[in-house]
Amino acid sequence: MNLCPGSGTRGKAVELETVKALLTESALRRLNNSAHWFCSDADCDIVYFDAEGAAYMKVDLRVPIWQKEPFGRRGICYCFGENEADIRAEIESLGRSRAVERVRDHIAAGRCACEVRNPRGACCLGDVKAAVDRVMSSVQLVSSEAAASGFGRP
């Protein structure tokens, strides 16, 4: 029973500790100790669901869920605050982002708490890498479109 009741998406198992840490007080009162899964479907408002049939929506969580937010300003790293807006600004000013290296440095120093802070209950490094790639592609697309339209030419 690891299919989301809202979207039918196969859920990813998540530790109860993560669910407890991220639910609002009112949602936490409804929590049971059964197995829980994370729904990553962007079009589904359900974030967690359990084996008993309970579902926890975006409004039941203390933090926005980046997978369920619109592209552009989403927070990606719940431990160290890496987000799309800062990644974009860094790419626009430096031509690249060091977000992945910063997160790797924190992980190497033993500061990561993704198993509790990240709603998926797993390391965010892959998400940060993918976010940098998405933002880089977006910046390059905008630059290409501007060049093709003659914007910025004398």
Q: What is the pLDDT of residue 73?
A: 86
Average pLDDT over residues 140-153: 61
State the helix-helix crossing angle for 99-108 and 125-148, rounded to 10 degrees.
Answer: 170
Taking only the tens place, the pLDDT of each residue in 80-98 is: 999 999 999 999 999 999 9
Taking only the tens place, the pLDDT of each residue in 124-133 is: 999 999 999 9
Average pLDDT over residues 117-136: 95
| Euclidean distance between CA atoms 154 and 149, whole angstroms | 12
Q: What is the pLDDT of residue 141?
A: 72
- By the 8 A CB rule, do 39 and 65 touch? no
Q: Which of 5, 16, 13, 8 is nearest to 53 (CA)?
A: 5
Q: Which of 49, 67, 55, 46 is nearest to 13 (CA)?
A: 49
